[in-house]
Structure 1
Amino acid sequence: MARGKEIRNKIRSVQSTQKITRAMQMVAAAKMRKAQERMRATRPYAEGLVAIMRHIRAAHPEYRHPLLAVRPVRRAAVLVVTSDRGLAGALNVNVLRVAVGQLKEWEEAGIQGEVAVLGNKGAAYFRRLRAPVVAQLAPLGDRPTLQSIIGVVKVLVDAYREERLDRIALVYSRFENTMSQVAVIEDLLPLPEPGPDVNRHRWDYLYEPEAQDVLSDILTRYVETRVHGVVIENLASEQAARMVAMRAATDNAGRLIGDLKLAYNKARQAAITQEIAEIVSGASAV
């Protein structure tokens, strides 16, 4: 029964792994719900900020803020948002593939590309790639705050103000639903111009201090808030991907346990049959 003992040990090992993956699935589900709640809670503030920004911009078109300036692109940067840990399926791989594809596209067009990274996985990947990383935050943590990411955002915003960068792109995993997370790339700077109908009521605010100062502060805060919202959304995507991956691992462990139990029963039955045959043979010889 040496083979049977070996199979029993494998069954116990897989059962222990199954308990771990099931626990990780439940933890990821709880964290995903909390991340979704945070994501929903930040949207009204971001939408209000955008509405005020667009209204001031439309009411004072003569003011040209540096963050709204569109220039020919000679140098650009990509801000890559990844997770701190793995076991999340292809989440980080897809994000990094999109980022590297954008850098290669810029290189072919003669544009000098730089990288800023949020998250351990992205930082480790671009360190191995020896890419020009201008700023990074690793690890992000389970509850990243606006204050924690301001340093990285400030490096990029200051570079754009000083015309050391002409475009900044944002790469992250967009949360579609629990089963779908899509790696996307979006422009962070320059900021888009307001639409034609944002100031249709033809009224304006009373500003203290001047409208230009208010707009400057709001534009900077808008960039910081947008990056923070993307980080929270990427966190929700990470937990959803991990929950799905751990559920698949748990199901695979269950199927493997069933196969091992079947193999154990076959080995046990073969050993019993062999023992009976030996007893019968011995009795016949006597």
Structure 2
Amino acid sequence: MPSLQSLRRKIAAFKNTQKITKAMKMVAAAKLKRSQDRILCARPYAHKMRRVLSNLSRRVNRSSHPLLQKREGIKVEVLVVTSDRGLCGGFNGNIVRKSSEFVRQCESRGLQVNLSIIGRKGRDYFRRRSWRIRQEWTGIFDKLSFEHAIDIGADLTDNFAKGSFDELYVVYNEFKSAIQQRVIVEKLFPVDAQVEFGSAQMEGTTGGSYLYEPEEAELLDALVPKHFQVQAYRILLESAAAEHGARMAAMDGATRNAGQLIKKVTLYYNKTRQAAITKELMDIVGGAEALK
């Protein structure tokens, strides 16, 4: 039977843990509000820009711009977006499981797969595996800005243009609500109009062309890299908001669990203390009876 002192220490430790998890929940809730506002503002612009570029890619000569070219290659790159910190429930676990499954599917089709990692948790996981990591970015979610998306977009577009890979897929958590995220596998390179509009609408397209001002090549040179920067920024915002939501939910559950443990151990402490008092009383009564 544990001593009363050890039980008191255990109760104090549970209470301290509960204070920490409650504070982390409040911090995550405050960060979630800011991240949610940012993604709700950025998401419509990013979706509309993707739709515009997908529509444009149907009507231009795709070979006129290196970022629109479709290649029949076997080199695939997977961009995995995780968090830099833990204590956010199954946020990172769902990402690495989905990424590993997708990579194995690609390898089973005879494709060569390289990884680019955003976030320390994904980097640490895949470093212990046999898959090759081409590039990694860590520590960007503390002060997330559009400059991070510019750096990531420039690296990806340059390597795609140089032929380092023929297709790029990104695996990330899409923010749905404070308690719900969805793991998404999305194709970024090259732009696929059929994915955006669907095969039925593609078959019904009558063709046609645009009048460009400035010239088509100049417009594509400005619009296409900007599109990938915007999509990278949207993905980072989605992941940041989903991470804060997952952490808030995880810390809320941890706070409730700590409260239940405090009640359980406190009840056991009271029973143990009462048993000790009863034993002492019985010893006193027994001693008094022996003196008679």
Give the aligned partner of residue 189 of structure 1.
189
Which of 200, 215, 225 aligns to 1:220? It is 225
Provide the C-alpha distance between the structure 1 equivalents of 2:38 and 2:262, rounded to a whole number of angstroms: 39
Normalised by the length of structure 1, the TM-score is 0.90
After superposition, residues 30-49 of structure 1 pair within 5 angstroms as 30-49=30-49
Give the aligned partner of residue 267 of structure 1.
272
Q: Kindly indicate whether the alpha-carbon contact (under 8 Å) linking 1:76 and 1:112 is maintained by their aligned counterparts in 2.
A: yes
Q: How big is the shift at 1:153? A: 2.6
Provide the C-alpha distance between the structure 1 equivalents of 2:239 and 2:2, rounded to a whole number of angstroms: 49
Q: Kindly indicate whether the alpha-carbon contact (under 8 Å) linking 2:62 and 2:68 is maintained by their aligned counterparts in 1.
A: no
Identity level (%)? 34
* Cα 1:123/1:2, change in 2 over 3 Å: closer
Are 2:66 and 1:61 equivalent residues in the alignment?
Answer: no
Provide the C-alpha distance between the structure 2 equivalents of 1:42 and 1:272, rounded to a whole number of angstroms: 65
Q: Kindly indicate whether the alpha-carbon contact (under 8 Å) linking 1:42 and 1:229 is maintained by their aligned counterparts in 2.
A: yes
Q: Kindly indicate whether the alpha-carbon contact (under 8 Å) linking 1:116 and 1:152 is maintained by their aligned counterparts in 2.
A: no
Are 2:289 and 1:284 equivalent residues in the alignment?
Answer: yes
Q: Which amino acid is 1:229 matched to?
A: R
After superposition, residues 1-286 of structure 1 pair within 5 angstroms as 3-50=3-50, 52-54=52-54, 56-57=56-57, 60-62=59-61, 64=63, 65-193=65-193, 195=197, 207-208=213-214, 210-286=215-291
**Partner of 2:134: helix, strand, or coil?**
strand
Q: How big is the shift at 1:204? A: 5.4
- The gaps in structure 1 that reach 5 residues or longer are none
* Cα 1:234/1:146, change in 2 over 3 Å: same
The alignment covers a number of residue pairs equal to: 283
Q: How big is the shift at 1:185? A: 0.7
Provide the C-alpha distance between the structure 2 equivalents of 1:54 and 1:282, rounded to a whole number of angstroms: 93
Provide the C-alpha distance between the structure 2 equivalents of 1:130 and 1:163, rounded to a whole number of angstroms: 23
Q: Which amino acid is 1:157 matched to?
A: T
Provide the C-alpha distance between the structure 2 equivalents of 1:275 and 1:246, rounded to a whole number of angstroms: 43
- Residues 69-118 of structure 1 show CA distances to partners (whole Å, capped at 9, x for unaligned) of 22223100000100000001111111111111122122221111001111
> What RMSD, in angstroms, separates the aligned Cα atoms of the two structures?
2.4
Normalised by the length of structure 2, the TM-score is 0.88
- The gaps in structure 2 that reach 5 residues or longer are none
Q: How big is the shift at 1:130? A: 4.3
- Residues 32-67 of structure 1 show CA distances to partners (whole Å, capped at 9, x for unaligned) of 111110101212432453354356545x53454322
Provide the C-alpha distance between the structure 2 equivalents of 1:16 and 1:180, rounded to a whole number of angstroms: 28
